[in-house]
Structure 1
């Protein structure tokens, strides 16, 4: 069927984001808001001197991780120049006043990444990977419910007032209030994007590579197939055109179910939206937002067009590389005929258009595709030793003399303060503390020694009564006590009631302006509890509380905090895999991904976060959630690391992501 169609051409490029441009929001006739992995929202206004171009007028800073969905608040009494609502990986929803560029509301409630935002009058509706839909009014949560049994990826409001959600459970749901009045079935993978098709119905985009048009009644009207990878976004225009953005580095324009144009990009197209005049805005993983037009008078000048063509050409060449190597330079399968020299040695070979990693299996004297549990790599590269067969890591070395000196110093500080003197230790207490440390220093690997009840009671007293700024050496002693079988057994009685000493400690050290020393020592106490199986029930019961309390550690600049938090996530991943706890695995996965995308953190910390991700994906329960969380691009970025162990585990994650 021949379709009359004039092709879109580049109008302008909006440069400013320092990482992937992720989301787009059309703000009236003269504004565009964009979100990015660089943690910013940027507002672009039509350039009055050059009507075809846009200039950045506001940069909105407030999210602590990458920003995704956006929604536009039209000008009103509260927001005379309009407002923006943004959602992020940090689980927050922020409301911005465009007149001032200031954040005016922070909405907290979601447990995992916010993936979609819609406005219903003055109410804000949000959805998340935590499977919930929440309604907010006046800065407060009005209602919340579990809308799907898997991560929710998108939400739109229909002109008639109903809401539509799309989910990793492969369905769309139509909502009237809190009642689901229809479930749309047909997609074979995650429903990632939604749009209203004017005067007709709903358009959906999916990881299955298709775009589907539905009647509100639920009837499938049309299926559009043409993308070769995940379709992340879709939008529709009153003219009848549909645009979609995909992992295959293209934005495709559809008319009457036929792809009439494919616009190549130098990276993944995360989002695509129509302006009211029919022009298209795309957000690309190269950080650039582009506007495309049918109007010949608005087409970019020759210099800009040549610049884009050159960029696109360079990108195509770069895609023929694997791990920084030209694909043509990789050895072929014949290279696998040469035996390896050590167990676990890796080799990347060319298989068709891909580079595939293999590991040498010393016992069977053969090369295996590199899909073994990445936990094994910790024993090769990590600073903490693996202490049992489940791969739990502990922090089990200490400078005891230094710890005692610091406690003595702090005790003298208390003695010299009339108001705090009552919290100080007397000579008998100091002697007992020295005896506790002696047990920890001198006990053999088999721990034949015992602590008295008085010993543990003294430690509990210190944890409860000492001022927070002086606590960290006491917490450090506690860290070592929980590695001792008798010590951890006696601690158990202090966590089995409402007066839970460990929960109390976590709340205390994570209060406002927490000290890094308190954070990493307390995280290490919890991390060391994983060594003892009779504490696993407690760790599972308090998982949400613990991970929420320490969530800010992901962005800490302190290396000790980073490595402690990453190890906590790794231990939780092992335990939750064993227990087949999908909800818990999703929470750990979200935290580990947030940490792994930080290329400025300590390399060992990033490595452990990646190991946690790989292990969770390999187990399978949250593999699809990981793909929804953009794990492929996080792995690609990590694979470029100069640290070999990070690059290798990132390559493993890419391989796991490709498995059916």
Structure 2
């Protein structure tokens, strides 16, 4: 029996995000997803139907385990808990609490109703489930990074595989007895083969077969990317197993090698595989679909389903090879990226589920669809008139000298591409200092001609649903970005499409720029501002609240309301009356303050206005408002961020720095926007500290950052916070900062987890900055 004999049996649709785990239950399949649900699919005829949805986790579900022949179903989540269900129940009989981070893997224990779990908190735990009350047994402590795989061996050992690249063996008492070393990257899967034998797989794209004394007796190769999952297929043979990978394929093996050709799936990531008692193979993938493959012709999918699957697979293969402006189409962000705010004027190309590529621009707090994008690279230099660089067509390929002793490196650029994004991508690729971003971007702008992107559809004046393309309003909710192009990730914000007309070839006489190499992510020298605002909406809200104010003294006139609009302008004029009105409005009830504070944060961008507007009493009001509501917290934080962009504001913040940091330390949870605002505040402080370091401010900033990092979850906020920590290590008091960071285990653990964690497309920069921080510490 080989994998070539397997065909698609059915596809199960119901999850809305990645299916991270699959397992076999009693006459059913169980799946778990990033959409925070687990689903039970009952067998019916030759297929399966959705029967039950489990919804008790507060964050994505990352692991599954079925105990006692299907009598207990366990789900492990990013919320650090394990829910235990009986078949048919939608309420857990118990919730196991003890891990402090994502429960990433689980396996049955040695005793009845027992479970072993592994977590990103670097520990494994052994649980016993007695009635409706759990009792925790030993903790397995010793790994230096997240645990991604656990298995129990019939010889009496628990085995754990970790992002620290090690495999540990533990006895039943929880004592570490031996370690297997050999993987060069994160260990992601473990299975027992025979009695006491072990097979492992990992992010190094290898499968290793181990002897009992820790020698790797055989390595199997075939996958071209991370191997996330593996499962025994005992219905085929005692040593037959199946693997799933980031290369979109599943493969079947035995101890001698691969059994047949790979099956390609129409999804980027095969997160999980399970092998059923009848020999069928179940997969959970990043396209939110559960698929079943069978060797039994009676269970093959019908012709219509099979044809649609094959078409999707072929499209996947085409997409994997297709390139657009130097980026693989398959690596372009999906429609979910439109739920993240951008910068005014920022453009991005999005790959929709139907394969269509659309160009969007962030305008007035919304992603506006500009039209279809054309130009996946398929021509040649002869017929396109463009320059070929590394097999890809570009309008320009500039020469950049990084040193006198090294040859020039190439900087490719397409007309219509955001020069800041091209510069950022160039800096990341060649590991150049972030401080050179502006220099490289300005060099591109100066030496290239900017034109509009090529569109096959007219520019749309309305909104388009990022998932369907239909008209729909996409709420902005305020900006959580900066006008600092250096803060934008080129892998999510880049606009790298083909221009409308070809440019002439760039020769060796092309313009050159000369820079020198250094650190990638810090020190970071550009400050952040929150600029974007729809003033009409803010003024309408103010007008609405104005009618609710009971005191005649505090109400404002229509003329005063119109005056306030002057403070939202890029270059305000005749704003004296507006400042007086704003002072009056700050006396409004606390639940009506947030639109006032929204105008306030725009006004304080200007040092002249800030010096008049922010009196000591006004500064005190801002600090007090921070504790009054979530909306006020966000707006006040953005006020302080914007104040830190000029000397007047820096001095004001410095005068009450302890009180401001104290207020931020009281915040223990918050929205994505609030998290980004807080980390942006600290980033601006650290930019200022690199220039003029103050020992006490460095200490307080580090303390505040560490407190916020304990609860922050947003990836962009974490990246900015890590940039801030990196900046602090570059001050004369960096040793103090390093000692403070190392003393906070939960923050250090989170940083180390990011070194090996698999992150959404566009946030690989967190892996890089985590490594840089670890090296700096």
Q: In which range does the TM-score fall when normalised by the shorter chain?
A: 0.5 to 0.7
2:666 match: 505
Matches within 5 A, 1:283-362: 283-323=284-324, 324=329, 329=378, 331=380, 349=389, 351=391, 360=398
1:368 match: 411
Using the TM superposition, name which of 307-316 and 464-473 deviates more: 464-473
Using the TM superposition, name which of 145-154 and 475-484 deviates more: 475-484
From 577, 580, 583, give the equivalent of 1:404.
Answer: 583
Using the TM superposition, name which of 178-187 and 142-151 deviates more: 142-151
| Cα separation, partners in 2 of 1:530 and 1:246, compared to 1, 3 Å | same
> Is the 8 Å Cα contact of residues 91 and 114 (structure 1) preserved in structure 2?
yes
2:37 match: 40
2:64 match: 70
Q: How many aligned positions are there?
A: 546
From 705, 708, 712, give the equivalent of 1:546.
Answer: 708
Supply the distance in 2 between the matched residues of 1:455 and 1:152 (Cα, whole angstroms).
52
From 572, 576, 599, give the equivalent of 2:726.
Answer: 576
Supply the distance in 2 between the matched residues of 1:212 and 1:261 (Cα, whole angstroms).
19
Supply the distance in 2 between the matched residues of 1:46 and 1:248 (Cα, whole angstroms).
29
TM-score (normalised: structure 1): 0.67
Matches within 5 A, 1:481-520: 484-493=649-658, 501-507=662-668, 510=669
- For residue 722 of structure 2, give the secondary structure of its aligned residue in structure 1: helix
From 128, 145, 159, give the equivalent of 1:164.
Answer: 159
> Is the 8 Å Cα contact of residues 116 and 153 (structure 1) preserved in structure 2?
yes
| 1:168-214, Cα deviation, whole Å (9 max, x unpaired) | 22221111233211111222332111112242412211223222222
Supply the distance in 1 between the matched residues of 2:7 and 2:591 (Cα, whole angstroms).
74
Supply the distance in 2 between the matched residues of 1:66 and 1:538 (Cα, whole angstroms).
34
| Cα separation, partners in 2 of 1:185 and 1:355, compared to 1, 3 Å | farther
| Cα separation, partners in 2 of 1:180 and 1:373, compared to 1, 3 Å | same
| Cα separation, partners in 2 of 1:406 and 1:147, compared to 1, 3 Å | farther
> Is the 8 Å Cα contact of residues 373 and 618 (structure 1) preserved in structure 2?
no
1:193 match: 189
- For residue 427 of structure 2, give the secondary structure of its aligned residue in structure 1: coil
Q: CA deviation at 1:386?
A: 7.3
Supply the distance in 1 between the matched residues of 2:225 and 2:73 (Cα, whole angstroms).
34
| 1:359-413, Cα deviation, whole Å (9 max, x unpaired) | 7457788623744149679977942587997235334778794763443012799
Supply the distance in 2 between the matched residues of 1:623 and 1:389 (Cα, whole angstroms).
14
- For residue 192 of structure 1, give the secondary structure of its aligned residue in structure 2: strand
> Is the 8 Å Cα contact of residues 676 and 717 (structure 2) preserved in structure 1?
no
- For residue 569 of structure 1, give the secondary structure of its aligned residue in structure 2: helix
From 607, 611, 614, give the equivalent of 2:765.
Answer: 614
RMSD, aligned CA: 5.1
Q: Does residue 175 of structure 2 align to residue 179 of structure 1?
A: yes
Supply the distance in 1 between the matched residues of 2:186 and 2:627 (Cα, whole angstroms).
51
Supply the distance in 2 between the matched residues of 1:4 and 1:596 (Cα, whole angstroms).
33
| Cα separation, partners in 2 of 1:36 and 1:593, compared to 1, 3 Å | farther
Q: CA deviation at 1:130?
A: 3.7
Supply the distance in 1 between the matched residues of 2:704 and 2:120 (Cα, whole angstroms).
20
| Cα separation, partners in 2 of 1:246 and 1:363, compared to 1, 3 Å | closer
Supply the distance in 2 between the matched residues of 1:491 and 1:235 (Cα, whole angstroms).
58
Q: CA deviation at 1:252?
A: 1.6
Q: Does residue 50 of structure 2 align to residue 56 of structure 1?
A: yes
1:16 match: 14
> Is the 8 Å Cα contact of residues 214 and 222 (structure 1) preserved in structure 2?
yes
- For residue 319 of structure 1, give the secondary structure of its aligned residue in structure 2: helix
Q: Does residue 182 of structure 2 align to residue 133 of structure 1?
A: no
1:636 match: none
| Cα separation, partners in 2 of 1:60 and 1:326, compared to 1, 3 Å | farther
Q: CA deviation at 1:297?
A: 3.5
| Cα separation, partners in 2 of 1:385 and 1:64, compared to 1, 3 Å | same
